[in-house]
Chains A and B, each alone.
Chain A
Amino acid sequence: MSTAKCAAKFVTVLTLAGVAFAAGDARKDLHFKVGKHPAISINNPYGPVVVKAGAPHEVVINAILHSDKVEIDQSQSHNRIDIISHLLQGADQYSGVVEYQVLVPADASLSIHSENGPVHAENLHGDLALEGGNGAMEVLDCGDGHVHVKTLNGPVTISNVRNGHVEVVSMSGDVSLNSVSGPYVAVNSNTGKIEYAGDFGGEGEYSFTSYTGNIEAVAPAYASIDVTARSSQGRVDSDFSLEPKHTPFYAKAGSYFSGTLGKAASSVKLMSFSGKIHLKKRQ
């Protein structure tokens, strides 16, 4: 092979590599030093956000930007960090995607807004506020902090969360709570269905309401609850033999049940306008 041909090939390879690099994803790594209980806010219109517990006093953010039509705005003020995926002119749901992998101190408070991407939070003990339009919201193995989730259409899964307030508002996204307990657990859904599997522990108040979505709660035989279930137009069933109790509303036959189980430590309200309600006994 002649020297000229070799040189031409070398230049071609270099050029193609340069084009590929320019057109490909860009990676950005951010590091912040923080004190106790930092507050971190992430606003990402498109793309996933995954947050896990990392080292104390440090926030590490690895971001992959899918194009040059989006940039990351960052600011730190004392113990507060704000991260915004700033969409530039012409950005859309593809070119505006930023993928975040975030490590925060376990005691951090987190506020995440994602229009379309999924959000995952794991092993955290601070307060969590998650808002989204269509992406899935997942909270796993968290405790001692409040968990607030608002979603329009994305499904919500909260698993193994204890000892905090859990509040979920959803329009059409399904909501699934698994081993969730605390002093206050509330789900407010329009058409999305609500599923709960757990023991209603914590001597708490559990309130699941929907407009048309079905509600299904699965509890063990040893559950200690004072439960009221009512659907104005849907079917209501219970697998448990409950001790009857007085209800503060006109009781239409077949569309409600109310009673206690065990020592009735927790209050459980299952309410729907036209969805079905089923309190199941865990086998």
Chain B
Amino acid sequence: MNCPEFERDLPECVEGVPSPEQQAHLNSCPTCSGLLLDLNSIASQAQMLSAADEPSAAVWNALEERLWSEGLIRRSAPAYLPAEVKPSFMQRWRAAWLVPVAAALAVVAVVKLYHPANVGDKNPVATQSQPQAQAPAPAQSARLKHKPALSHEDQQWLSTVSSRPPAQLAKFRSDLDQANAFIEDAQQSLQEDPNDVYMQQMLMNAYEQKQMLYELVVDDSSH
């Protein structure tokens, strides 16, 4: 099984048990295993939202009215179906409202993890004399689009500290993602210019940070 085939069957895997074929692919592909991990996390978070958090009927009615007025939905179900058999548009959507919430959670999680408040420069790069400098660097763009996948070692490391309190675990994960993002950006920059001695140094520093993270957290876990 390759990545596109796995992604095609991904909905069956989320919150479910992967087939042996899917599991074999997961074991060999950190990208897909990371993706599944994230989706399961989002799904479990969404389940924690109670029914009490559902917007009131007035909100749904107003939304329904607005969609009708804009011609995006039809007003009623076919007349030959009794109302109790054919659920209305809003009734169906009340059951499915977690989908956009989960999507929003995913977007927020990605943005928060990969663009924290103090990250980067809010201002444009200083005095530009070359037009090509205006464009965002490919590495940074890539980093914001998708989070670095967890390697097998990363997953093992996280499992060794899984007994820690959730807040600590989240911080470990955040630090790990930051270290991985640093490594990924430095590697991408080096692909563009392999002779960049300073970026080589940055890459070594990124690995040093990740090594420190491994050491300190595991040391602390041994107490």
- Give chain A's interface residues, CB within 8 Å of chain B: 45, 87, 113, 115, 131-133, 150, 152-153, 169, 171-172, 188, 190-191, 207, 209, 211-213, 228, 230-237, 248-250, 252-255, 269, 271, 273-276
Contact = CB atoms under 8 A, between A and B. Distances in A.
A192 B196 CA distance: 24
Interface in B170-209: 171, 175, 178-179, 181-182, 185-186, 189, 193, 196-199, 201-202, 205-206, 208-209
14 contacts: A113-B219, A169-B209, A172-B175, A188-B209, A211-B182, A212-B118, A234-B120, A249-B199, A254-B126, A254-B128, A255-B133, A271-B202, A273-B185, A275-B120
The 7 closest A-B pairs by CB, nearest first: A254-B126, A274-B120, A253-B129, A211-B182, A234-B121, A235-B126, A188-B205
A273 B182 contact: yes
A152 B173 CA distance: 12
A254 B182 contact: no
Interface in B77-125: 116, 118-121, 123, 125
Nearest to A235: B126
Contacts of A231: 121
Given A87-B223, A273-B182, A232 B189 contact: yes
A249 B179 CA distance: 24
Interface of B: 116, 118-121, 123, 125-130, 133, 136-137, 139-140, 171, 175, 178-179, 181-182, 185-186, 189, 193, 196-199, 201-202, 205-206, 208-209, 212-213, 215-217, 219-220, 223
Nearest to A237: B126
Contact of A212 (B120, B133, B196): B120
Contacts of A150: 212, 215-216
B196 A190 contact: no
A26 to B, nearest CB: 19
Contacts of B179: 171, 190
Contacts, number: 128
A131 to B, nearest CB: 6
A152 B182 CA distance: 15
Contact of A252 (B130, B182, B215, B217): B130
Contacts of B208: 169, 188
Given A115-B223, A233-B136, A274-B119, A255 B189 contact: no
A119 B121 CA distance: 32
A209 B223 CA distance: 32
B213 A152 contact: yes
Contact of A254 (B125, B171, B189, B198): B125
A249 B213 contact: no
Contacts of A236: 126
A211 B216 contact: no
Contacts of B137: 232-233
A207 B204 CA distance: 13
A255 B118 CA distance: 19
A171 B179 CA distance: 8
B14 to A, nearest CB: 31
B125 A235 contact: yes
A108 B206 CA distance: 32
Contact of A191 (B119, B189, B201, B202): B119
B22 to A, nearest CB: 34
Contacts of B181: 211
Contacts of A133: 216-217, 220
A276 B119 CA distance: 10
